[in-house]
Amino acid sequence: MDERRLAEQFAQTGNLMDLCADEAWLRDAARLEEDCGGQVEAGPAMREYVSRLSPLSVEQLQMVKLQSILFTELRTWMETWELGQSFEATYTKARQLVRHHLKCLSLEQQTWGEALLKEDAQGTAPEQKTIRSQTVAMLGKMLTQEDWQVLADTAAQGMAVRVLQIGQPDGVSAKAS
């Protein structure tokens, strides 16, 4: 859509969404969408890029959903660790470790993950999600002793950086005022 038409609409009603009620505009938008193969928002210059994108497989979609659930529970759990300024770096490292372990789950972990996804798809109330309530225990089993050491080192490094920043001459004056 050209800028002139948008400016006219805005000047007339103050709301660009009013265009959606204009039959002529809707027909023009449908024609443009058809001309672009359904990818109007990407624009003609992006047509080749969009054509190379492939839809996610069912397995990939399941993995995304599983990660979404696990990372939500991981965040909630890690917030109880009281990591302060080190939280984000440690949480990011924990997510990387979990992603790594998701590539090679044990049979027990695979079965549990499938049950977790099935329970989530049922849309049960949060307090009735018995499989999801096991997430922290499963994450604890998933992480190795080396992983725990990496998380501890990440948290310690984050705190060290913060303390050293405060210890700089400009850091002390900024905190003191």
Asked if residue 156 belongs to a domain, the reply is no
Check whether residue 43 and residue 69 sit in a common domain.
Answer: no
Each residue's pLDDT tens digit, 147-162: 999 999 999 998 998 8
**Among 11-20, 47-56, 116-125, the range of highest mean pLDDT:** 116-125
Looking at per-residue pLDDT, the higher value among 28 and 164 belongs to 164
Check whether residue 48 and residue 125 sit in a common domain.
Answer: no
Helix spans in the chain (H): 3-13, 23-35, 47-52, 58-79, 87-102, 107-121, 135-142, 145-167, 169-176
Check whether residue 101 and residue 137 sit in a common domain.
Answer: yes
* 161/82 Cα distance (integer angstroms): 17
The phi and psi torsions of 10 (rounded to 5 degrees) equal -65, -40
What would the DSSP string read from start to end of 126-174?
GGG-TTGGGHHHHHHHHS-HHHHHHHHHHHHHHHHHHHHHHHSHHHHHH
What pLDDT was estimated at residue 1?
Answer: 53
Mean of the per-residue pLDDT values of the chain: 84
Check whether residue 71 and residue 20 sit in a common domain.
Answer: no
Asked if residue 144 belongs to a domain, the reply is yes
What pLDDT was estimated at residue 44?
Answer: 61
HSE value, Cβ hemisphere, 13 Å, CA-based, for 72:
9
State which residues form the domain around 138: 58-148
pLDDT band, very low/low/confident/very high, at 2 (cuts 50, 70, 90): low
Helix (H, G, I), strand (E, B) or coil at 56: coil
Helix (H, G, I), strand (E, B) or coil at 39: coil
Each residue's pLDDT tens digit, 38-76: 655 555 666 676 666 667 788 888 999 999 999 999 999
Looking at per-residue pLDDT, the higher value among 66 and 20 belongs to 66
Q: How many domains does the chain have?
A: 2
Check whether residue 65 and residue 139 sit in a common domain.
Answer: yes
Check whether residue 83 and residue 108 sit in a common domain.
Answer: yes
Asked if residue 122 belongs to a domain, the reply is yes
* 48/28 Cα distance (integer angstroms): 23
